[in-house]
Amino acid sequence: MFSKVLKWACRVLLGLVLICAITYGVFSFLFHRHLDKSYAVTVRDIPIPGDSATIAAGKHLYEIRGCGECHGADLRGRLIVDDPGLGRIAGTNLTYGKGGLSADFDNKAWLRALRHGLNAENKTLLLMPSQEFARMDDRDIAAIIAFCKAQPEVDTPNIPTKMGPVGKVLAVLGKIDLFPAELIDHAQQQPAMVVKAPTADYGRYLSASCTGCHKPGLTGGDNPVPGGPPVANITSTGHVGKWSKDEFITALRTGNTPEGKQLQAKDMPWTMTARYTDEELIALYLYLKTL
C-alpha cells in the first residue's frame, strides 16, 4: 500500500517537473522570437554639429533624459540589473574605448539606436528606453549624439547580457518594457525643433522621460522594477493637483513633498529631475495640471 502511494507521488512529481520544463521551453522560444525579429527601417540622416554650444546642450539633455542612470556620468557603462532570476543587463560603454562602441558606430548607428531602438543588425536593443527618445526633435537628438561623441574614451570590461528565466517570462508577458523596437512607430517623422518655453506643450514633450515609470497617461500603477514601490499618479487627480508651482519644483529638486514624504532617489529619480531648469520644471508642472 505504502509503496503504491510513493509510486504515485513520484509520478505526480515527475509530471509537474515535466510541465514546468515545457512551459519554460515555450517562454524561452517566444523570448527568442522577440530578439530575432529583424526590422526594415529607413534611418533618416541628420547633421550632427560639433560646436561647443551644441555639446553643452547635449550634456544637459544627457543628464535630464536619464542616460547617465544607465550609461554612467562619464559614459563608461553601468551594470543595471544583476539578479539570478531577472538576469544581467548593462548599459553599454558609450565611448569608443575598449569594451565600448566599435569604430564604425557612425551617426546613423546612433540614430538607429536612439530613434528606433535597434542595433546594427536591425534587431531590438534590450531595456534601452528608445521609445522615450524616438520623438525627440532633430536639434535635441543631434545635441546628445554630439555630446557623447565628444567624450574621452574609457576602457571597460565588456559585460555580455544574460537574461534569467524570470526576466524572460516577465518580458514575454509584457510586464517589463524590454524590447524598445516594439514600442516605436518607425515611420513617424520627428519635428526639426520644438519650441522651448514654460508651456504645457513643452511639458508634454519632456514628460516622455516620466512615462516609463508613471505610465503613458501618467496615472502611475505597478512599479516596472520588480519589488519597487507603486508609482504615484502625477496627474491633477493626484497630490500634484494640489501642489503650487514652487512646491512642485522643491519636490523634484529635493525629493521632499508637501505631504512630508521624502522620496527615495532609487525609486523616484529626483537626483535626475533636480538637474532640470526652472523653465523645464514649470513646463512639466503646467502639463501635468492639464491631465
Q: Is 161 in the site for ligand HEC (CB under 6 A)?
A: yes
Residue 118 or 169 with smaller CB distance to ligand HEC: 118
Q: State the nearest-atom distance from the C-beta of 6 to ligand HEC, in Å.
A: 48
Q: What are phi and psi for residue 263, nearest 5 degrees? A: -70, 140
Q: Is 237 in the site for ligand HEC (CB under 6 A)?
A: no
Across the chain, which distance is largest between two alpha carbons, in Å?
Answer: 85
Is the CB of residue 111 less than 8 Å from the CB of residue 45?
Answer: yes
Q: Is 284 in the site for ligand HEC (CB under 6 A)?
A: yes
Query: Contacts with ligand HEC in 41-80 (CB under 6 A)?
Result: 65-67, 69-71, 80
Query: Contacts with ligand HEC in 253-272 (CB under 6 A)?
Result: 257, 261, 263-264, 267-269
Q: Is 282 in the site for ligand HEC (CB under 6 A)?
A: no
Of 209, 213, 203, 207, nearest in space to 263 by CA? 213
Residue-wise DSSP of 34-63: HHH-B----PPP------HHHHHHHHHHHH
Binding letters toward ligand HEC, positions 188-227, x by CB under 6 A = ---------------------xx-xxx--------x----
- Cα Rg of the chain, angstroms: 22
Q: State the nearest-atom distance from the C-beta of 225 to ligand HEC, in Å.
A: 7
Is the CB of residue 117 less than 8 Å from the CB of residue 180?
Answer: yes
Q: Which stretch binds ligand HEC (CB under 6 A): 149-157, 169-177, 194-202, 233-241?
A: 233-241
CA 132, 255, 144, 124 dihedral sign is: negative
Residue 112 or 169 with smaller CB distance to ligand HEC: 112
Which one of 55, 57, 111, 128 is in contact with ligand HEC (CB under 6 A)? Answer: 128
Q: What are phi and psi for residue 83, nearest 5 degrees? A: -150, 135
Burial class (CB within 10 angstroms; exposed 0-12, middle 13-18, buried 19+) of 208: middle
Q: Is 134 in the site for ligand HEC (CB under 6 A)?
A: no
Is the CB of residue 272 less than 8 Å from the CB of residue 69?
Answer: yes
Residue 254 or 264 with smaller CB distance to ligand HEC: 264
Instruction: Give me the torsion for CA of 239, 241, 244, 249, rounded to 10°.
Output: 70
Residue 101 or 169 with smaller CB distance to ligand HEC: 101
Which one of 142, 144, 159, 282 is in contact with ligand HEC (CB under 6 A)? Answer: 144
Q: Is 172 in the site for ligand HEC (CB under 6 A)?
A: no
CA distances from 137 to 95, 199, 217, 218 (A): 23, 17, 21, 22
Please report, as ranges, the residues that interact with ligand HEC according to CB under 6 A.
Answer: 65-67, 69-71, 80, 89, 91-92, 94, 110, 113-114, 119-120, 125-129, 133, 144, 148, 161, 209-210, 212-214, 223, 228-229, 231-232, 234, 238-240, 251, 257, 261, 263-264, 267-269, 273, 284
